[in-house]
Structures are given as structure tokens and as C-alpha cells.
């Protein structure tokens, strides 16, 4: 889901120093924050709106019905 350095920063969730370093990196780099924020918003709007999610789920159900009819 997250592309490290593109739309977020990946860290070891069990490593407080890694988490702190990522936070400090974001605090110190306004352009990085803005770029990743824009990329995250773009990804959300293109993939994760309710319309997109329901279309995807509907397609899964249609595929299942079609494959069951073909096999049956």
C-alpha cells in the first residue's frame, strides 16, 4: 500500500528510534511532506473512494456468479 518515500515512510513499528527518525525527517522537510501528502491524496481518490471500493466488490461478485454458472 505505502510506497516508501513516495506517499509515506515505512518504519519498523517495533523500533522507536526508526519511528522517531521518520518523524524528524518529516518535520525537517516541508517539500517531502507536501509531495507525499499530494501523492497519498491522489492514490486515495483514484483507488479508495467508496465508489471505487463498491465497484471492485461488485465486480468480484459478478465474477463469482459467472464462474459458478460456467462450472454448473
pLDDT digits (tens, 9 = 90+) for 11-67: 999 999 999 999 999 999 999 999 999 999 999 999 999 999 999 999 999 999 998
In this prediction, residue 60 carries a pLDDT of 96
In this prediction, residue 70 carries a pLDDT of 84
Indicate yes or no: pTM above 0.75.
Answer: no
In this prediction, residue 69 carries a pLDDT of 85
Indicate the pLDDT class of residue 72, thresholds 50, 70 and 90: low
What distance in Å separates the CA atoms of residue 41 and residue 6, rounded to the nearest whole number? 12
Backbone angles phi, psi at 28, to 5 degrees: -90, -5
Q: What is the mean pLDDT of residues 66-71?
A: 85
Amino acid at each position: 500500500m505505502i510506497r516508501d518515500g513516495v506517499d509515506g515512510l515505512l518504519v519498523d513499528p517495533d523500533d522507536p528510534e526508526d519511528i522517531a527518525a521518520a518523524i524528524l525527517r518529516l518535520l525537517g522537510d516541508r517539500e517531502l511532506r507536501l509531495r507525499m501528502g499530494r501523492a497519498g491524496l491522489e492514490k486515495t481518490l483514484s483507488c479508495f473512494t467508496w465508489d471505487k471500493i463498491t465497484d471492485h466488490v461488485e465486480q468480484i461478485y459478478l465474477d463469482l456468479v459467472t464462474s459458478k454458472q460456467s462450472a454448473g
